[in-house]
Amino acid sequence: MSTDLLTTITRPMASEQTDDSEQGWDRWLLLIVLLLVALGLIMLYSSSAVMAEQRMGGHLVLLQNQLQKVVLGMVLLTGALCVDYRWYKRMIYPMLIGTVVLLVLVLIPGIGIIQNGAQRWFSLGGMSFQPAEVAKVTAVMYLAYSVSKKGKRMGSFTIGFVPHLLVIGFMVGLLMLQPDFGSSVMLLALMMILLFVSGAKLSYLFMFTLTGAVGAYFAISGSEYRMKRILAFLDPWSHRQDIGYQISESLIAIGASGLYGRGLGNGTGKLGYVPELWNDFIGTIIAEELGIFGIVFLAGLFALLVWRGLRIAFRCDDPFGMYLAFGITAMFGLQAMANLWVVTGMLPTKGLTLPLVSFGGSSMIMGLFAIGVLLNISRNAPDHWELEREERDGERLERRWEKKREKIMRSRDRRR
């Protein structure tokens, strides 16, 4: 890497100062993220220790595995914090091509590995890696770059709508071949949100929503497994012994938690009653052992994360940085909401992890990387709110000194 390129990547803004207001990275956001990761590690151990001892020969196996992913993710977070977010604009198309290559390779027998009937993972040095998590971050970066570049032309159907639909639709098509219905819906939802906030016409978005609903209907009705999930969602108790077992047991565990829960380590769902409790259903054990307070605390942390992310987006004067911050924030907010709605029976079961909390290396690593990018936006993006406030403060101080000077002059005139 040349010196010029390194300078371009890591150079701070000219207006950046050591003072937090001008403009230090968002330390509150990092604290929220660390609390979520710490809560996830604690509850991962509580939910998996019994299973890991019985099946893997050690109660710390899954915790140690997740700690490795957290360390790698923190390395990427630190790196992303140091890399000027505007550098990614140069890398959008190589990143898109690389992501598509990964999504194609995972479908090739012998390269992608099959788990639970889905071919979504690579096996790298004994660790599994899911390219769908890369696709989410890449899609947000591409959309942020594209809509910021088009500007007022976003109202055009052929310029502001069709190109994004083709790119994201192609990625969704590859995800559906795995199949990964949850990640596909997430990508389409992120596209719709970013197109909406960037000025795409509501009529286009409305028509696409209707078309997408029809497509989702056929995708669900054409799959016996997905139809069973819908039936289990509508009436889990009638399907408690088969497809509705996981959600019904989750509801039982949550219902028995009460205000304060059973106490940390005292949950019964981890004794084999709730499958994948440390993964997609980690919210269940948080509610069961920590009670309503625990689940409210968890939801509150995600609400604070979304607030800090939106704050970064709205305070950013650079269109690319604003849309990128908004997209990353929406990615965390939507996935957290979808996961918590699933474990409480408000949505059909789907394979979406709870970001920064659930067991899962790909989700943790890419999630922490995305947080690093968001922190860099808070650090390097011009903050027009702060600049306007400082300008007003300067004008106010100047008027104050002018009044004081006039008062001194009048006092001198009276003495004469």
What is residue 415's predicted lDDT score, i.e. its pLDDT? 64
- Residue 129: helix, strand or coil by DSSP? strand
Count other C-beta atoms under 10 Å from residue 167's C-beta: 17
Is the Cβ–Cβ distance between 380 and 13 less than 8 Å? yes
User: 206, 115, 212, 218: which is closest to 172 by C-alpha?
Assistant: 212
* Long-range contacts, 261-266 (Cβ 8 Å, 24+): 261/287, 261/288, 261/289, 261/290, 261/291, 261/292, 261/293, 261/294, 262/288, 262/289, 262/291, 263/289, 264/42, 264/46, 264/289, 264/290, 265/46, 265/289
Would you say residue 181 lies in a domain? Answer: yes
**Total residues found in the chain within this entry:** 416
- Whether the CB-CB separation of 283 and 298 falls below 8 Å is answered with yes
13, pLDDT greater than 50: no
Cα torsion angle, 45, 51, 57, 62, sign? negative
| 357 domain residue, yes or no | yes
The confidence band for 17, taking pLDDT boundaries of 50, 70 and 90, is very low
Eight-state DSSP code of residue 91: H
Q: Is 392 inside a domain boundary?
A: no
Q: Is the pLDDT of residue 23 over 80?
A: no
Retrieve residue 83's tokens: 């890399």
| Across 165-174, 203-212, 317-326, least confident range | 203-212
**What per-residue confidence (pLDDT) applies to 15?**
37
Lowest mean pLDDT among 141-150, 241-250, 282-291, 298-307: 241-250
Looking at residues 81-91, what average pLDDT do you find? 92
Rounded CA-CA distance 139/158 in Å is 19
C-alpha–C-alpha distance, residues 338 and 336, integer Å: 5
Residue 276's alpha-carbon distances to 86, 272, 337, 393, in angstroms, are 39, 9, 18, 55
Which one is predicted more confidently, 98 or 222?
Answer: 98
- Rounded to an integer, what distance in angstroms lies between the CA atom of residue 235 and that of residue 195? 35
Whether residue 416 is contained in a domain is answered as: no
Tell me the per-residue pLDDT of 270-306, one tens digit each, with 9 for 90 and over: 777 777 788 888 888 898 889 989 999 999 999 999 9
pLDDT value at position 9? Answer: 42
pTM confidence score: 0.84
Mean pLDDT of 42-57: 85
In a domain, 253, yes or no: yes
**Is 226 contained in some domain?**
yes
Residue 21 has pLDDT above 60, yes or no: no
**Mean pLDDT, residues 155-162 taken together:** 88
Place of tokens 């400082």: 390
Domain membership of residue 210 as a residue range: 22-382
Which is more confidently placed, 355 or 386?
A: 355
Model pLDDT, residue 268: 79
Asked if residue 305 belongs to a domain, the reply is yes
- Tell me which residue has tokens 């307070």: 293
pLDDT tier, 200 (very low <50, low <70, confident <90, very high otherwise): confident
* Backbone dihedral region for residue 126 (phi beyond 0: left; psi -120 to 50: alpha; all else: beta): left
6: pLDDT strictly greater than 50: no
Highest mean pLDDT: which range of 1-15, 160-174, 196-210? 160-174
Mean pLDDT for 98-112 is 90
Contact present, 79 and 146 (Cβ < 8 Å): no
Higher pLDDT, 127 or 320: 320
* Average pLDDT estimate for 98-121: 86
Domain contains 408: no
- Categorize the per-residue pLDDT at 18 as very low, low, confident or very high, splitting at 50, 70 and 90: very low
Domain count, the chain: 1
- Omega before residue 348 within 30° of 0, cis: no
**Beta carbons within 8 Å of 26's beta carbon, 6+ residues apart:** 308, 311, 312, 374, 375, 378, 379
Read off the pLDDT band of 95 (50, 70, 90). very high
User: Strand 127-129's sheet: what is its strand order?
Assistant: 112-115, 118-124, 127-129
Q: Give CA angle at 313 (311, 314), nearest 5°.
A: 65
